[in-house]
Amino acid sequence: MHPFDQALELEPSGDDRWRGRTIPEWANMVGPFGGITAATLVRAVELHPQRHGQPIALTVNYLAPIVDGEFDILTRCVKTNRSNQHWIVELSQDGEAKTTATAVFGLRRQGWSETEITPPAAPAPEDIVPSVPPFGVVWFDNYDMRFVDGAMPDTAGEPTESASSTTTLWVRNKPSRAMDFAALASVSDIFYPRVFLRHGQFVPAGTVSITVYFHADEEQLAAQGDDFVLGTARAHRYSGGYFDQSAQLFGRSGVLLATSHQFVYFKA
């Protein structure tokens, strides 16, 4: 089984409830990678027999670190309309809430469409050397990342500050795996904290809340297959120990697959 699908394995444990477990392949510095947690919450709603439509939006709030082992997920459908459906999701361990989320699923209809944003200029991923992260965070091994600009700071030598917080990279699952909504949620959190790039070094930081907007439908994800996604992210302001970070994910053809926005805690 692909390590991504292994991490998303959930067993029914009662009405609206699911039981899962962390796996070491997705370990972060503290707890599992936040993207895999977001993907697991998407999968929990997808598995629910009352689920209506495809993911439209997801907001995940990280309350406390998830420890290694089993966890429980409660999914509650709050409202179903003709075009969309609203969910509240909670992940807990030993009765303590660790992550909460709201999710919107909906039916997409054909009609006028336009995309105002364009993907950043970038060479083909085949022309870029795969990156080797400068520190041993396990979950990075699950992705083939090829930085166009804004690569991770090199921890050797004196820190080199950057005037820009922008990172652009090609990324895909490793080993290869076709894109779906859960995988898109995970990749939306692929970007390391922008404050690392600005300071040229690693500082304490962690996502507090992330929102993902799914622009792609099932047909566009099928066309994406297991190809590279072009992602770009930047921050807007650092203040009071927090900063915001916005990102866009494009297919190789230039189609906008998803956008994300997150608020990040940091010490610097």
Give 123-126's long-range contacts (Cβ < 8 A, gap of 24+). Answer: 123/148, 125/170, 125/172, 125/228
Instruction: Reduce the DSSP state of residue 244 to 3 states and report it.
Output: strand
Asked if the structure places residue 146 within a domain, the reply is yes
Number of domains in the chain: 1
Asked if the structure places residue 73 within a domain, the reply is yes
CA distance linking residue 74 with residue 19, whole number of Å: 9
CA–CA distances in Å: residue 57 to residues 126, 202, 205, 233, 240: 32, 30, 25, 18, 28
- For residue 179, the model assigns a pLDDT of 97
Asked if the structure places residue 170 within a domain, the reply is yes
Asked if the structure places residue 24 within a domain, the reply is yes
Ranges of the chain with pLDDT below 70: 134-135
- Look up the CATH number of the domain holding residue 212: 2.40.160.210
Contacts with 227 (C-beta within 8 Å, 6 or more apart), sequence order:
172, 179, 251, 252
CA distance linking residue 215 with residue 45, whole number of Å: 18
pTM higher than the cut 0.85: yes
Asked if the structure places residue 116 within a domain, the reply is no
Place of tokens 């962390």: 22
Asked if the structure places residue 117 within a domain, the reply is no
CA distance linking residue 208 with residue 60, whole number of Å: 8
Range of the domain at 163: 3-108+122-266
Place of tokens 């500050």: 161
Instruction: Reduce the DSSP state of residue 172 to 3 states and report it.
Output: strand
- For residue 248, the model assigns a pLDDT of 98
- For residue 134, the model assigns a pLDDT of 66
- HEC assignment per residue over 204-226: CEEEEEEEEEECCCHHHHHHHCC
